[in-house]
């Protein structure tokens, strides 16, 4: 009985094999399964939760994590190697930025480490930062108490500073932009204030260091305030089209604008049947 039902089912499907949507439907199924396979295959390495059995000191813990997760590229004593730079003197701020935004550990050796879901949790990141900070002095982690941008920042002044120092790579509205050879300046939307500050101080990837002499701490707070204002600013003119300038506008006018008008023209001149 069961087998009959199955064979009926197949027959039912097989009846539709010459349906005119059969081709597109099969293609869709094939594409989805291909995409799903790729997604699974390229998924992030599963995070091995550290079993923090005996929590000695923060630094000890950081050293242990470093030896496990970082030393294969950066060297057992963080001295660097042929594929990764030395971490002596980069400071806790650098570790907090790179690990805290998920850029480190790198997923692959591509042009640039990209932002992704952090591998290490807050405590592990703090431990790593504490360990790296012991190697040589460097910029310290920015704590929330220092980020008084809401109170001390000036949005308009921050905008001027942003356009002078940041917009050339990150775009006028902080949406990010392309650099040479596949490198890029990432979008600043949704980036935590702490990480923006740390990036300015440490100059990750292709970004230059903006020392406190180039941009004072107050000015840095103003820049952060402007970025946060841009982030929360409603799209005053309607759909933002990505805030990337005329490219998307041109695309829209040829598709929706002229497309709609030509559609109406066809309708107006259609012969009644």
Tell me, residue by residue from 173 to 202, as one string, x for binding to other proteins by CB under 8 A and - for no binding: x-xxxxxxxx-xx-----------------
First CA to last CA distance, the chain: 53
Tell me, residue by residue from 201 to 230, as one string, x for binding to other proteins by CB under 8 A and - for no binding: -------------------------x--xx
Q: How far is CA 47 from CA 44, 104, 110, 117, 131, in A?
A: 8, 13, 21, 10, 21
The distance of closest approach from Cβ of residue 238 to other proteins in the complex, given in angstroms and rounded to an integer, is 5
Is residue 171 within the footprint of other proteins (CB under 8 A)?
A: yes
Is residue 246 within the footprint of other proteins (CB under 8 A)?
A: yes
The distance of closest approach from Cβ of residue 174 to other proteins in the complex, given in angstroms and rounded to an integer, is 10
Is residue 252 within the footprint of other proteins (CB under 8 A)?
A: yes
Query: How many of the other CB atoms lie within 10 Å of CB of 3?
Result: 7
125 or 175: CB nearest other proteins: 175
Is residue 111 within the footprint of other proteins (CB under 8 A)?
A: yes
184 or 197: CB nearest other proteins: 184
Is residue 261 within the footprint of other proteins (CB under 8 A)?
A: yes
The distance of closest approach from Cβ of residue 220 to other proteins in the complex, given in angstroms and rounded to an integer, is 17
- The string of DSSP codes covering 106-153 is -SSSSSSPPP-S-SS-HHHHHHHHHHHHTTS--PPPPPGGG--HHHH-
The distance of closest approach from Cβ of residue 76 to other proteins in the complex, given in angstroms and rounded to an integer, is 34
Token look-up 């242990």 returns 64
C-alpha–C-alpha distance, residues 202 and 188, integer Å = 16
Pick the closest to residue 227 from 171, 184, 179 (CA basis). Answer: 171
C-alpha–C-alpha distance, residues 215 and 171, integer Å = 19
Is residue 149 within the footprint of other proteins (CB under 8 A)?
A: no
Is residue 23 within the footprint of other proteins (CB under 8 A)?
A: no
C-alpha–C-alpha distance, residues 237 and 159, integer Å = 20
What is the binding site for other proteins (CB under 8 A)?
Answer: 111, 155-156, 159-160, 163-164, 167-173, 175-182, 184-185, 226, 229-230, 233, 235-241, 243-250, 252-254, 256-258, 260-262, 264-266, 268-269
């Amino acid at each position: 009985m069961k087998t009959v039902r199955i064979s009926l089912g197949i027959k039912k499907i097989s009846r539709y094999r010459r349906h005119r949507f059969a081709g597109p439907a099969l293609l869709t199924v094939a594409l989805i399964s291909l995409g799903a396979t790729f997604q699974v295959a390229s998924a992030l390495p599963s995070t091995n939760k550290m079993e923090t059995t005996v929590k000695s000191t923060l630094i000890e813990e950081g050293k242990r994590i470093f030896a496990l997760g970082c030393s294969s590229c950066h060297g057992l004593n963080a001295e660097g190697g042929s594929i990764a730079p030395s971490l002596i003197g980069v400071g806790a701020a650098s570790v907090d930025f790179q690990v805290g935004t998920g850029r480190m550990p790198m997923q692959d050796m591509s042009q640039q480490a990209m932002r992704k879901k952090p591998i290490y949790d807050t405590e592990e990141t703090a431990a790593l930062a504490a360990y790296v900070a012991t190697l040589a002095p460097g910029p310290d982690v920015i704590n929330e108490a220092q980020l008084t941008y809401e109170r001390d920042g000036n949005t308009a002044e921050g905008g001027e500073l942003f356009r002078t120092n940041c917009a050339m790579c990150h775009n006028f509205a902080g949406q990010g932009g392309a650099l040479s050879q596949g490198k890029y300046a990432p979008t600043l939307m949704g980036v935590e204030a702490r990480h923006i500050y740390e990036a300015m101080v440490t100059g990750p990837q292709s970004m230059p260091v903006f020392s406190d002499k180039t941009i004072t701490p107050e000015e840095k707070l103003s820049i952060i305030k402007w970025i946060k204002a841009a982030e929360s600013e409603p799209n005053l003119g309607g759909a933002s089209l990505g805030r990337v300038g005329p490219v998307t506008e041109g695309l829209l006018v040829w598709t929706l604008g002229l497309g709609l008008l030509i559609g109406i023209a066809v309708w107006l001149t259609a012969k009644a049947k």
